[in-house]
Amino acid sequence: MVEVGSHRIRGSFQMKRFLFHNFRSLRPNPTVFGILHLYHEGNLLTSQNRVRIDPLTPKRRSQSAQLGTNGRPIAFSIVSVGSFLVMDARLEQRSVLKFLCKSGQTPINCWRQLHDVFGLRTMSKGRVWVWHRQFSAGDERIKDKPKSGRPKSARSQDKIQQVQQFLNQNRAVDLQDIASEVGISVTSAHRIVKKDLKLSKLCPKFVPKDLTQAQKDVRVQMCQANLDLLKEDEELLTKIVTGDESWVSVFELPSKKKSSEWLPKGTHRDRPQKALPQRSDRKSMLTVFFDAKGVVLSEFAPRGVNICSESYCATIKVLKERLRKKRPTLWKKVNPDEPRPFWLHHDNASSHTAAPTIKLLQECDFKILQHPPNSPDLAPCDYFLFPRMKNALRGVRHPNVQAMQAAV
């Protein structure tokens, strides 16, 4: 960026336009030289470089003929200075004035010498007196003092407090609502929310059910009881056998992430479209029980059999035999008068909490690990086993139920 006076110029094209429109007084002399001061990181590199104004090439004469003299249009050969800055004409005169002031020149003599060099561009006598007095007082800066600028009326503390109070009432409002309520622009509302209040808008996380306060209290109590059991027995996690049921279809819908494709950058508007397939009606109910070592029981319910208390009791009887064979250390009692050393964990489905099911579990001496109601996020089958199993089956169309069961 190049600063010339109060103008900020970026690029050679804007520099040429600026010079064309501000140097009309140079028409009588189609070739002019000017002193150029180059600065880099505040250090003066040189002050002897020159910017030359040359006649235009024939290709550009028709574009700026109105600026020429005697049919000779003029153009400016701009020195490419990269990150250097062209010194402001005012700063240049102040530097010269500072030198003259240090040399013991009076203000009127300083102004006369400046006028002899800069001509009509010389600063006024009043400004020369002001800067001469400043340099004489020991202030050696040549730049103007930083100004406060326009007051930040939109981002004042009162506006920020109003936005904060409005957001405390409703966190889901839009920026347009905030701007209309407080009386500021949408841009100012966005800056207050982002920079001053440091807030970000997040989408809500969907849960299976909105729990009541009583259900939340029960959830906390049960989780605290399970944590107390873990403190008493550090090997509790190795003694838990958990299980649940889930439907498995012949064709599981592919996830959106799995359907993504690698495409060239910039082709997001032409991304491929894919119709949403229909979930297959052919499915089977899978029941799984597993522990820290692996799967203990995995079976599909016969076609036409619903999961009820009777069918679940039959599954518990099969689980009892599997535990006796696969997990003898968990099945064998340490004391005949005490229950078996493992803990059975399942959710609060109606088939799991029915009276016949509870009676059978008591007869088998099973210890039940408490599970809060409507909390699938605490069931390992719901948040760990079934999602991973179905992720491997997504997008694969099996010919029949038997092929699907074999794949599982």
What is the phi/psi pair of residue 375, to 5°? -130, 70
Q: Are 284 and 303 within 8 A, CB to CB?
A: yes
Lowest mean pLDDT across 189-203, 217-231, 273-287? 273-287
Place of tokens 């099996």: 398
Rounded-to-integer distance, Cα 336 and Cα 320, Å: 17
Cα three-residue angle 282-300-332, rounded to 5 degrees = 165
Residue 144's pLDDT band, with cuts at 50, 70 and 90, is confident
Q: How would you classify residue 266: left for phi > 0, otherwise alpha for psi between -120 and 50, otherwise beta?
A: left
Q: What's the pLDDT score for residue 21? A: 55
Query: Over 50: is that where the pLDDT of 243 sits?
Result: yes
Pick the residue with more confidence: 48 or 251?
251
pTM: 0.52
Pick the residue with more confidence: 325 or 210?
325
Rounded-to-integer distance, Cα 83 and Cα 80, Å: 9
Question: For residue 399, what are the CA distances in angstroms to 93, 109, 175, 249, 275?
Answer: 89, 103, 52, 11, 21
Q: What's the pLDDT score for residue 250? A: 84
Pick the residue with more confidence: 197 or 10?
197
> Token digits for 311?
């069918």
Q: What's the pLDDT score for residue 82? A: 34
Q: What's the pLDDT score for residue 151? A: 63
Taking only the tens place, the pLDDT of each residue in 36-61 is: 333 333 444 333 333 333 333 333 33
Rounded-to-integer distance, Cα 137 and Cα 319, Å: 97
Question: For residue 75, what are the CA distances in angstroms to 10, 50, 381?
Answer: 18, 15, 79
Q: Are 35 and 57 within 8 A, CB to CB?
A: no
Q: Are 360 and 313 within 8 A, CB to CB?
A: yes
Q: What's the pLDDT score for residue 290? A: 92
Strands 367-368 and 283-291: unpaired
Q: What's the pLDDT score for residue 171? A: 87
Task: State the amino acid at position 308 in one-letter form.
Answer: C
Q: How would you classify residue 242: left for phi > 0, otherwise alpha for psi between -120 and 50, otherwise beta?
A: beta
**236-242 average pLDDT score:** 90
Q: What's the pLDDT score for residue 269? A: 63
Rounded-to-integer distance, Cα 95 and Cα 176, Å: 51
**Closest to 162 in 3D by CA, of 150, 179, 174, 176:** 179
Residue 343, class by beta-carbon neighbours within 10 Å (0-12 exposed, 13-18 middle, 19+ buried)?
buried
Query: Over 50: is that where the pLDDT of 245 sits?
Result: yes
Query: Over 90: is that where the pLDDT of 331 sits?
Result: no
Query: Over 70: is that where the pLDDT of 202 sits?
Result: yes
Lowest mean pLDDT across 40-49, 128-137, 283-292, 333-342? 40-49
Q: What's the pLDDT score for residue 382? A: 87
Mean pLDDT of the chain: 76
Instruction: Return the sign of the alpha-carbon dihedral for residues 89, 95, 100, 106.
Output: positive
Rounded-to-integer distance, Cα 351 and Cα 243, Å: 13
Query: Over 80: is that where the pLDDT of 26 sits?
Result: no
> In the Cβ-directed half-sphere of 65, how many Cα atoms lie within 13 Å?
5
**Closest to 248 in 3D by CA, of 200, 298, 207, 283:** 283
**273-290 average pLDDT score:** 78
Q: What's the pLDDT score for residue 22? A: 53
Rounded-to-integer distance, Cα 24 and Cα 18, Å: 11
Query: Over 50: is that where the pLDDT of 181 sits?
Result: yes
**132-136 average pLDDT score:** 91
Which 3 state secondary structure label does DSSP give 245? strand
Q: What percent of the chain has pLDDT over 70?
A: 74
Cβ count near 92 (within 10 Å): 19
Taking only the tens place, the pLDDT of each residue in 88-101 is: 678 888 888 999 99
Pick the residue with more confidence: 344 or 4?
344
